[in-house]
Chain A
Amino acid sequence: TQLLEQSPQFLSIQEGENLTVYCNSSSVFSSLQWYRQEPGEGPVLLVTVVTGGEVKKLKRLTFQFGDARKDSSLHITAAQPGDTGLYLCAGDEYNNNDMRFGAGTRLTVKP
């Protein structure tokens, strides 16, 4: 089983819709990161959250870190076709020094 479970695995929506994807674990993380990966490219970092309960906004993207630092969510408002990609969460487990990734949510936004 993955250390970080992401849901849903696949999501296909129409342009303009809102969506939320989740990243859950039973472990506590010192920090958690969200990446977006497009075909043929490496993942690109979107945000890092470090404080329990923290909320960060990046234009139409809102990231939240759970109070217990075990989970996170990514909410996209008014999705656009350019948001299409694989969204990955990654966390460094408390007292470890490496980043572990979830399997990702593959998002398709249709025009």
Chain B
Amino acid sequence: KAGVTQTPRYLIKTRGQQVTLSCSPISGHRSVSWYQQTPGQGLQFLFEYFSETQRNKGNFPGRFSGRQFSNSRSEMNVSTLELGDSALYLCASSYQNLNTEAFFGQGTRLTVV
């Protein structure tokens, strides 16, 4: 079966812009979680969606938001981009929650200049 697909793979934006990243989970998976990965901080949890509802949220400012559609596809949006938002953004899908087996996409590498 197809894996987790994230688009785009690479993105360059300027400070102050906004960006939307997309994640298509494995077919049948209802939980999608988003993470930010940087060399200094490692993998930081952003939020998790399950059946179109945000179920958990990490400690990120309100500029970071997300949503999930009825087909379980998810998007995350970052508004008013800052240089420090440059990172690899990963999404993970699982059937129920991340306590069960989770599958990660290849990520979207965002560079803010």
Q: CB within 8 Å of B: which residues of A?
A: 2, 30-31, 33, 35, 40-45, 48, 88, 90, 92, 96-104
Which chain B residues border A100 with CB–CB below 8 Å? 45
Which chain A residues border B58 with CB–CB below 8 Å? 98
Q: When chains A and B are docked, how far (Å) is the Cα of A97 from the Cα of B54?
A: 12
Question: Which interface class (under 10, 10 to 19, 20 to 34, 35 or more) fits B?
Answer: 20 to 34
Which chain B residues border A31 with CB–CB below 8 Å? 99
Once the chains bind, are B107 and A42 in contact (CB under 8 Å)? yes
Which residue on A lies nearest to B47, using beta carbons? A98
Which residue on A lies nearest to B4, using beta carbons? A42
Q: When chains A and B are docked, how far (Å) is the Cα of A42 from the Cα of B104?
A: 5
Once the chains bind, are A45 and B103 in contact (CB under 8 Å)? yes
Q: CB within 8 Å of A: which residues of B?
A: 4, 33, 35, 41-45, 48, 55-56, 58, 90, 92, 97-99, 101-107
Once the chains bind, are B104 and A44 in contact (CB under 8 Å)? yes
Tell me, rounded to whole Å, the shortest Cβ–Cβ distance linking A59 to chain B: 18
Chain B interface SS verdict (over half): strand
Between A and B, 14 residue pairs with Cβ closer than 8 Å are: A30-B99, A42-B92, A42-B107, A43-B104, A44-B104, A97-B48, A97-B55, A97-B56, A98-B33, A98-B45, A98-B48, A101-B35, A101-B42, A101-B45
Q: Pick the contact of A42: B56, B99, B105 (CB < 8 A).
A: B105
Q: When chains A and B are docked, how far (Å) is the Cα of A107 from the Cα of B4?
A: 26
Once the chains bind, are A99 and B55 in contact (CB under 8 Å)? no
Q: Pick the contact of A102: B42, B55, B56, B107 (CB < 8 A).
A: B42
